[in-house]
Amino acid sequence: MEEELIGLEEKELFACCGSTQFAKEMASASPFPCLDGAVSAARHIWFNLVDVNGWLQAFSAHPQIGQSPSSHPKTDPTFAQLKILALPTATAIAYSIILFFIDLCRWSKGEQSTALATATDSTLQELFDWNARYRNKFGFVFLICASGRTSAEILAELKKRYPNRPIVEFEIAAQEQMKITELRLEKLFSAKPKAALTGYK
Amino acid sequence: MEEELIGLEEKELFACCGSTQFAKEMASASPFPCLDGAVSAARHIWFNLVDVNGWLQAFSAHPQIGQSPSSHPKTDPTFAQLKILALPTATAIAYSIILFFIDLCRWSKGEQSTALATATDSTLQELFDWNARYRNKFGFVFLICASGRTSAEILAELKKRYPNRPIVEFEIAAQEQMKITELRLEKLFSAKPKAALTGYK
Protein backbone atom coordinates (compact mmCIF):
# COMPACT_ATOMS: atom_id res chain seq x y z
CA MET A 1 0.00 0.00 0.00
CA GLU A 2 1.36 3.40 -0.99
CA GLU A 3 1.53 6.16 1.60
CA GLU A 4 1.65 9.86 0.89
CA LEU A 5 4.77 11.49 2.29
CA ILE A 6 5.78 15.11 2.45
CA GLY A 7 9.39 15.91 1.62
CA LEU A 8 11.02 18.97 3.18
CA GLU A 9 14.22 20.53 1.90
CA GLU A 10 17.10 21.80 4.02
CA LYS A 11 16.64 25.37 2.79
CA GLU A 12 12.98 25.60 3.78
CA LEU A 13 13.69 23.86 7.11
CA PHE A 14 16.39 26.43 7.82
CA ALA A 15 13.76 29.13 7.24
CA CYS A 16 11.61 27.45 9.95
CA CYS A 17 14.51 27.36 12.42
CA GLY A 18 17.84 29.02 11.62
CA SER A 19 20.13 26.30 12.96
CA THR A 20 22.25 24.56 10.31
CA GLN A 21 22.30 21.36 12.37
CA PHE A 22 18.51 21.41 12.81
CA ALA A 23 17.93 21.86 9.06
CA LYS A 24 20.38 19.08 8.15
CA GLU A 25 18.97 16.56 10.66
CA MET A 26 15.39 17.33 9.65
CA ALA A 27 16.22 17.01 5.94
CA SER A 28 17.81 13.62 6.70
CA ALA A 29 14.64 12.55 8.55
CA SER A 30 12.42 13.77 5.68
CA PRO A 31 9.97 12.82 4.10
CA PHE A 32 7.24 12.76 6.76
CA PRO A 33 3.83 11.04 6.66
CA CYS A 34 2.07 13.96 8.40
CA LEU A 35 2.60 17.23 10.25
CA ASP A 36 2.61 15.45 13.63
CA GLY A 37 5.47 13.24 12.47
CA ALA A 38 7.49 16.25 11.36
CA VAL A 39 6.82 18.15 14.60
CA SER A 40 7.76 15.12 16.67
CA ALA A 41 11.06 14.77 14.76
CA ALA A 42 11.68 18.52 15.05
CA ARG A 43 11.20 18.45 18.83
CA HIS A 44 13.55 15.50 19.22
CA ILE A 45 16.22 17.10 17.03
CA TRP A 46 15.93 20.58 18.58
CA PHE A 47 16.01 19.50 22.23
CA ASN A 48 18.31 16.44 22.04
CA LEU A 49 20.67 16.80 19.07
CA VAL A 50 21.19 20.51 18.36
CA ASP A 51 23.93 21.81 20.66
CA VAL A 52 23.90 25.14 22.50
CA ASN A 53 25.84 26.83 19.68
CA GLY A 54 23.05 25.72 17.32
CA TRP A 55 20.44 27.26 19.64
CA LEU A 56 22.35 30.55 19.62
CA GLN A 57 22.66 30.40 15.82
CA ALA A 58 18.88 29.96 15.49
CA PHE A 59 18.19 32.82 17.91
CA SER A 60 20.50 35.12 15.95
CA ALA A 61 18.49 34.45 12.78
CA HIS A 62 15.66 36.61 14.15
CA PRO A 63 15.62 40.40 13.61
CA GLN A 64 17.56 42.17 16.35
CA ILE A 65 14.97 44.52 17.85
CA GLY A 66 17.04 44.83 21.03
CA GLN A 67 19.73 46.58 19.05
CA SER A 68 19.68 50.35 18.74
CA PRO A 69 19.29 51.30 15.08
CA SER A 70 22.17 53.73 15.41
CA SER A 71 24.62 51.24 16.92
CA HIS A 72 27.01 49.04 15.00
CA PRO A 73 25.77 45.47 14.80
CA LYS A 74 28.25 42.77 15.92
CA THR A 75 27.58 40.83 12.73
CA ASP A 76 26.84 42.04 9.23
CA PRO A 77 23.33 43.48 9.14
CA THR A 78 20.79 41.99 6.76
CA PHE A 79 19.38 44.09 3.94
CA ALA A 80 16.22 44.76 5.98
CA GLN A 81 18.35 45.87 8.94
CA LEU A 82 20.44 48.12 6.73
CA LYS A 83 17.22 49.78 5.59
CA ILE A 84 16.26 50.34 9.22
CA LEU A 85 19.65 51.85 10.03
CA ALA A 86 19.12 54.47 7.32
CA LEU A 87 15.79 55.66 8.79
CA PRO A 88 15.25 58.45 11.37
CA THR A 89 15.55 56.97 14.88
CA ALA A 90 11.86 57.01 15.95
CA THR A 91 10.68 55.55 12.66
CA ALA A 92 13.52 53.04 12.73
CA ILE A 93 12.53 51.83 16.21
CA ALA A 94 8.90 51.31 15.19
CA TYR A 95 9.91 49.68 11.93
CA SER A 96 12.37 47.29 13.58
CA ILE A 97 9.74 46.18 16.10
CA ILE A 98 7.19 45.68 13.33
CA LEU A 99 9.75 43.69 11.36
CA PHE A 100 10.38 41.56 14.46
CA PHE A 101 6.69 40.76 14.95
CA ILE A 102 6.25 40.07 11.26
CA ASP A 103 9.16 37.65 11.45
CA LEU A 104 7.76 35.87 14.51
CA CYS A 105 4.26 35.71 13.06
CA ARG A 106 4.65 35.57 9.33
CA TRP A 107 4.11 31.83 9.13
CA SER A 108 1.05 31.68 11.40
CA LYS A 109 -2.52 31.59 10.22
CA GLY A 110 -4.27 34.96 10.16
CA GLU A 111 -2.88 36.04 13.54
CA GLN A 112 -0.16 38.30 12.24
CA SER A 113 -1.87 41.49 13.20
CA THR A 114 -2.69 41.02 16.90
CA ALA A 115 0.49 42.53 18.32
CA LEU A 116 0.67 45.25 15.69
CA ALA A 117 -3.01 46.23 15.98
CA THR A 118 -2.71 46.64 19.74
CA ALA A 119 0.61 48.52 19.77
CA THR A 120 0.71 52.12 20.95
CA ASP A 121 3.68 54.45 20.56
CA SER A 122 4.58 54.19 24.24
CA THR A 123 4.28 50.38 24.22
CA LEU A 124 6.55 50.21 21.16
CA GLN A 125 9.13 52.45 22.80
CA GLU A 126 8.98 50.44 26.04
CA LEU A 127 9.28 47.18 24.10
CA PHE A 128 12.33 48.56 22.34
CA ASP A 129 13.93 49.68 25.61
CA TRP A 130 13.25 46.39 27.40
CA ASN A 131 14.50 44.41 24.42
CA ALA A 132 17.76 46.31 24.54
CA ARG A 133 18.06 45.54 28.28
CA TYR A 134 17.20 41.90 27.66
CA ARG A 135 19.76 41.52 24.89
CA ASN A 136 22.38 43.24 26.99
CA LYS A 137 21.79 40.83 29.91
CA PHE A 138 21.35 37.55 28.03
CA GLY A 139 23.39 38.05 24.83
CA PHE A 140 20.57 37.07 22.48
CA VAL A 141 17.31 38.59 21.26
CA PHE A 142 14.09 38.21 23.33
CA LEU A 143 12.14 35.36 21.73
CA ILE A 144 8.45 34.76 22.16
CA CYS A 145 5.85 33.02 20.06
CA ALA A 146 3.86 36.23 19.54
CA SER A 147 1.00 34.63 17.65
CA GLY A 148 -2.32 35.91 19.03
CA ARG A 149 -0.75 37.99 21.81
CA THR A 150 -1.19 41.72 22.25
CA SER A 151 1.86 43.96 22.45
CA ALA A 152 1.03 44.63 26.13
CA GLU A 153 1.05 40.88 26.83
CA ILE A 154 4.40 40.53 25.08
CA LEU A 155 5.85 43.42 27.09
CA ALA A 156 4.52 41.93 30.35
CA GLU A 157 6.10 38.58 29.48
CA LEU A 158 9.43 40.25 28.68
CA LYS A 159 9.45 42.02 32.07
CA LYS A 160 8.47 38.79 33.84
CA ARG A 161 11.26 36.80 32.20
CA TYR A 162 13.97 39.46 32.57
CA PRO A 163 15.00 38.57 36.20
CA ASN A 164 15.65 34.92 35.23
CA ARG A 165 19.12 33.42 35.45
CA PRO A 166 20.78 33.28 31.98
CA ILE A 167 20.65 29.46 31.80
CA VAL A 168 16.94 29.42 32.74
CA GLU A 169 16.11 32.07 30.15
CA PHE A 170 18.20 30.22 27.56
CA GLU A 171 15.96 27.16 27.89
CA ILE A 172 12.73 29.22 27.85
CA ALA A 173 13.90 30.96 24.66
CA ALA A 174 14.57 27.53 23.12
CA GLN A 175 11.03 26.42 24.04
CA GLU A 176 9.60 29.58 22.42
CA GLN A 177 11.76 28.95 19.33
CA MET A 178 10.24 25.46 19.13
CA LYS A 179 6.69 26.91 19.23
CA ILE A 180 7.62 29.28 16.40
CA THR A 181 9.16 26.38 14.46
CA GLU A 182 5.97 24.33 14.90
CA LEU A 183 3.83 27.16 13.49
CA ARG A 184 6.17 27.45 10.52
CA LEU A 185 6.17 23.70 9.89
CA GLU A 186 2.35 23.78 9.97
CA LYS A 187 2.32 26.57 7.39
CA LEU A 188 4.88 24.72 5.27
CA PHE A 189 2.79 21.53 5.31
CA SER A 190 -0.42 23.35 4.42
CA ALA A 191 1.29 24.90 1.38
CA LYS A 192 2.86 21.64 0.13
CA PRO A 193 1.28 19.50 -2.55
CA LYS A 194 1.28 15.91 -1.32
CA ALA A 195 3.67 13.78 -3.36
CA ALA A 196 2.75 10.13 -3.50
CA LEU A 197 5.87 8.17 -2.69
CA THR A 198 6.29 4.45 -2.45
CA GLY A 199 7.18 4.32 1.20
CA TYR A 200 9.40 5.63 3.95
CA LYS A 201 12.98 6.22 2.99
CA MET B 1 38.84 49.60 62.83
CA GLU B 2 40.93 48.62 59.82
CA GLU B 3 40.13 45.39 58.03
CA GLU B 4 42.52 43.43 55.85
CA LEU B 5 41.24 43.06 52.33
CA ILE B 6 42.56 41.06 49.40
CA GLY B 7 42.54 42.78 46.03
CA LEU B 8 42.28 40.67 42.88
CA GLU B 9 43.14 41.94 39.42
CA GLU B 10 41.16 41.29 36.24
CA LYS B 11 44.06 39.42 34.62
CA GLU B 12 44.47 36.91 37.45
CA LEU B 13 40.69 36.50 37.75
CA PHE B 14 40.55 35.72 34.02
CA ALA B 15 43.14 32.99 34.65
CA CYS B 16 40.76 31.50 37.26
CA CYS B 17 37.81 31.54 34.84
CA GLY B 18 38.27 32.55 31.21
CA SER B 19 35.15 34.68 30.82
CA THR B 20 35.83 38.37 30.20
CA GLN B 21 32.57 39.32 31.91
CA PHE B 22 33.37 37.19 34.96
CA ALA B 23 36.83 38.76 35.32
CA LYS B 24 35.47 42.30 34.94
CA GLU B 25 32.62 41.83 37.43
CA MET B 26 34.90 40.16 39.97
CA ALA B 27 37.51 42.90 39.62
CA SER B 28 34.74 45.46 40.24
CA ALA B 29 33.65 43.57 43.38
CA SER B 30 37.29 43.33 44.62
CA PRO B 31 38.84 43.65 47.21
CA PHE B 32 37.46 40.85 49.39
CA PRO B 33 37.72 40.36 53.16
CA CYS B 34 38.27 36.59 52.85
CA LEU B 35 38.21 33.63 50.47
CA ASP B 36 34.58 32.87 51.35
CA GLY B 37 33.57 36.40 50.33
CA ALA B 38 35.33 36.04 46.98
CA VAL B 39 33.83 32.59 46.32
CA SER B 40 30.38 33.86 47.20
CA ALA B 41 30.77 36.80 44.79
CA ALA B 42 32.18 34.47 42.11
CA ARG B 43 29.22 32.10 42.40
CA HIS B 44 26.72 34.97 42.14
CA ILE B 45 28.50 36.46 39.12
CA TRP B 46 29.02 33.16 37.30
CA PHE B 47 25.48 31.81 37.71
CA ASN B 48 23.46 35.04 37.60
CA LEU B 49 25.35 37.66 35.58
CA VAL B 50 27.60 35.90 33.05
CA ASP B 51 25.52 35.07 29.97
CA VAL B 52 25.65 31.81 28.00
CA ASN B 53 28.21 33.26 25.57
CA GLY B 54 30.43 33.98 28.59
CA TRP B 55 30.07 30.37 29.74
CA LEU B 56 31.14 29.15 26.29
CA GLN B 57 34.06 31.59 26.30
CA ALA B 58 35.26 30.22 29.64
CA PHE B 59 34.88 26.60 28.46
CA SER B 60 36.93 27.34 25.34
CA ALA B 61 39.80 28.64 27.50
CA HIS B 62 40.60 25.02 28.52
CA PRO B 63 42.87 22.81 26.39
CA GLN B 64 40.92 21.05 23.67
CA ILE B 65 41.62 17.39 24.40
CA GLY B 66 38.58 16.34 22.37
CA GLN B 67 40.24 17.65 19.25
CA SER B 68 42.32 15.31 17.12
CA PRO B 69 45.89 16.60 17.00
CA SER B 70 45.94 16.18 13.23
CA SER B 71 42.74 18.16 12.59
CA HIS B 72 42.52 21.87 11.99
CA PRO B 73 41.32 23.74 15.07
CA LYS B 74 38.32 26.06 14.59
CA THR B 75 40.18 28.84 16.33
CA ASP B 76 43.86 29.70 16.36
CA PRO B 77 45.68 27.11 18.45
CA THR B 78 47.66 28.24 21.46
CA PHE B 79 51.43 27.78 21.52
CA ALA B 80 51.02 24.64 23.64
CA GLN B 81 48.50 23.23 21.16
CA LEU B 82 50.80 24.01 18.25
CA LYS B 83 53.50 22.01 19.98
CA ILE B 84 51.07 19.09 20.34
CA LEU B 85 50.13 19.28 16.65
CA ALA B 86 53.78 18.86 15.68
CA LEU B 87 54.19 15.61 17.66
CA PRO B 88 53.61 12.05 16.38
CA THR B 89 49.93 11.15 16.86
CA ALA B 90 50.21 8.70 19.80
CA THR B 91 52.54 10.96 21.74
CA ALA B 92 50.40 13.96 20.88
CA ILE B 93 47.28 12.29 22.26
CA ALA B 94 48.97 11.44 25.55
CA TYR B 95 50.52 14.88 25.79
CA SER B 96 47.27 16.72 25.11
CA ILE B 97 45.48 14.71 27.80
CA ILE B 98 48.27 15.38 30.28
CA LEU B 99 48.12 19.09 29.40
CA PHE B 100 44.36 19.02 30.00
CA PHE B 101 44.70 17.46 33.46
CA ILE B 102 47.49 19.82 34.35
CA ASP B 103 45.26 22.73 33.36
CA LEU B 104 42.34 21.47 35.42
CA CYS B 105 44.50 20.68 38.43
CA ARG B 106 47.38 23.11 38.35
CA TRP B 107 45.86 25.39 40.97
CA SER B 108 44.86 22.74 43.46
CA LYS B 109 46.88 21.72 46.50
CA GLY B 110 49.05 18.69 45.97
CA GLU B 111 46.41 16.73 44.09
CA GLN B 112 47.76 17.29 40.61
CA SER B 113 49.05 13.81 40.11
CA THR B 114 46.04 11.60 40.92
CA ALA B 115 44.66 11.33 37.38
CA LEU B 116 48.11 11.15 35.80
CA ALA B 117 49.43 8.54 38.25
CA THR B 118 46.46 6.27 37.58
CA ALA B 119 46.41 6.64 33.79
CA THR B 120 47.17 3.64 31.60
CA ASP B 121 47.73 3.79 27.83
CA SER B 122 44.33 2.29 27.09
CA THR B 123 42.56 4.65 29.52
CA LEU B 124 44.29 7.62 27.88
CA GLN B 125 43.26 6.47 24.41
CA GLU B 126 39.69 5.87 25.55
CA LEU B 127 39.58 9.27 27.25
CA PHE B 128 40.76 10.88 24.04
CA ASP B 129 38.15 9.05 21.94
CA TRP B 130 35.30 9.84 24.33
CA ASN B 131 36.36 13.48 24.57
CA ALA B 132 36.21 13.75 20.79
CA ARG B 133 32.69 12.25 20.83
CA TYR B 134 31.67 14.57 23.65
CA ARG B 135 32.98 17.66 21.89
CA ASN B 136 31.30 16.62 18.66
CA LYS B 137 27.92 16.24 20.42
CA PHE B 138 27.99 19.25 22.73
CA GLY B 139 30.21 21.76 20.91
CA PHE B 140 32.51 22.37 23.90
CA VAL B 141 35.24 20.46 25.75
CA PHE B 142 34.35 17.95 28.52
CA LEU B 143 34.83 19.78 31.82
CA ILE B 144 35.31 18.13 35.16
CA CYS B 145 36.95 19.20 38.36
CA ALA B 146 39.53 16.42 38.17
CA SER B 147 41.14 17.16 41.51
CA GLY B 148 41.69 13.92 43.43
CA ARG B 149 39.97 11.72 40.83
CA THR B 150 41.59 8.80 39.03
CA SER B 151 41.57 8.71 35.25
CA ALA B 152 39.16 5.74 35.37
CA GLU B 153 36.74 7.80 37.50
CA ILE B 154 36.98 10.69 35.03
CA LEU B 155 36.32 8.36 32.09
CA ALA B 156 33.34 6.80 33.89
CA GLU B 157 31.90 10.26 34.57
CA LEU B 158 32.37 11.26 30.93
CA LYS B 159 30.46 8.17 29.75
CA LYS B 160 27.73 8.78 32.33
CA ARG B 161 27.25 12.41 31.24
CA TYR B 162 27.44 11.79 27.50
CA PRO B 163 23.73 10.79 27.00
CA ASN B 164 22.54 14.06 28.61
CA ARG B 165 20.57 16.62 26.60
CA PRO B 166 22.85 19.51 25.48
CA ILE B 167 21.16 22.07 27.80
CA VAL B 168 21.49 19.73 30.82
CA GLU B 169 25.16 19.07 30.09
CA PHE B 170 25.74 22.79 29.55
CA GLU B 171 24.63 23.51 33.13
CA ILE B 172 26.64 20.59 34.58
CA ALA B 173 29.75 21.86 32.77
CA ALA B 174 29.13 25.32 34.24
CA GLN B 175 28.92 23.79 37.74
CA GLU B 176 32.20 21.96 37.16
CA GLN B 177 33.77 25.19 35.88
CA MET B 178 32.68 26.86 39.14
CA LYS B 179 34.38 24.12 41.21
CA ILE B 180 37.58 24.64 39.20
CA THR B 181 37.28 28.41 39.68
CA GLU B 182 36.88 27.94 43.46
CA LEU B 183 40.06 25.84 43.65
CA ARG B 184 41.91 28.50 41.69
CA LEU B 185 40.61 31.33 43.88
CA GLU B 186 41.72 29.37 46.94
CA LYS B 187 45.20 29.01 45.47
CA LEU B 188 45.26 32.67 44.53
CA PHE B 189 44.30 33.73 48.05
CA SER B 190 46.89 31.50 49.66
CA ALA B 191 49.60 33.08 47.51
CA LYS B 192 48.52 36.68 48.13
CA PRO B 193 50.12 38.88 50.78
CA LYS B 194 47.36 40.54 52.79
CA ALA B 195 47.26 44.25 52.11
CA ALA B 196 45.88 46.34 54.94
CA LEU B 197 43.31 48.69 53.48
CA THR B 198 41.15 51.20 55.26
CA GLY B 199 37.81 49.64 54.45
CA TYR B 200 35.52 48.28 51.76
CA LYS B 201 35.46 50.18 48.52
> Hey, of A52, A138, A162, A164, which one would you mutate to test binding to chain B, going by the most B CBs within 10 A of its CB?
A52
% pLDDT > 90, chain B: 52
pLDDT computed for residue A95 by the predictor: 52
Which of B4-8, B18-22, B139-143 has the largest mean confidence? Answer: B18-22
pLDDT computed for residue A62 by the predictor: 86
Which residues of chain A make contact with B165, given a CB cutoff of 8 A?
47-48
Q: How far apart are CA B60 and CA B66, in angstroms?
A: 12
B162, pLDDT greater than 70? yes
Reported as a pLDDT band with limits 50, 70 and 90, residue B145 is: confident
Q: Do B52 and A56 touch (CB under 8 A)?
A: yes
ipTM of model over 0.90? no
Reported as a pLDDT band with limits 50, 70 and 90, residue A9 is: very high
Q: How far apart are CA B74 and CA B72, in angstroms?
A: 6
What confidence tens digit (pLDDT) does each residue in B111-129 have? 335 666 666 778 888 888 9
A110: left (phi over 0), alpha (psi -120 to 50) or beta: left
pLDDT computed for residue B62 by the predictor: 86
Q: Do B167 and A138 touch (CB under 8 A)?
A: no
- Averaged pLDDT for residues B15-39: 96
When mean pLDDT is compared across A147-156, B12-21, B42-51, B58-67, the lowest value belongs to B58-67
Q: Do A51 and B139 touch (CB under 8 A)?
A: yes
A97, pLDDT greater than 70? no
A106, pLDDT greater than 80? no
Higher pLDDT, A72 or B140: B140
Higher pLDDT, A170 or A152: A170
Which of A93-97, B121-125, B155-159, B187-191 has the largest mean confidence? Answer: B155-159
Q: How far apart are CA A49 and CA B154, in angstroms?
A: 24
Q: Do B138 and A167 touch (CB under 8 A)?
A: no
Residue in A48, A53, A165 closest to B48 by CB:
A165
Residue in A50, A139, A167 closest to B166 by CB:
A50
Catalytic positions of A:
62
In DSSP notation, chain B reads: --EEEB---HHHHHHHS--HHHHHHHHHH--BSSHHHHHHHHHHIIIIIS-HHHHHHHHHTS--TTS-TTSPPSSPPPHHHHHHHTS-HHHHHHHHHHHHHHHHHTTSSS-THHHHHT--HHHHHHHHHHHHHHHHHHSS------TT--HHHHHHHHHHHTTS-HHHHHHHHHHHHHHHHHHHHHHHHHHSPPEEESS--
pLDDT computed for residue A147 by the predictor: 76
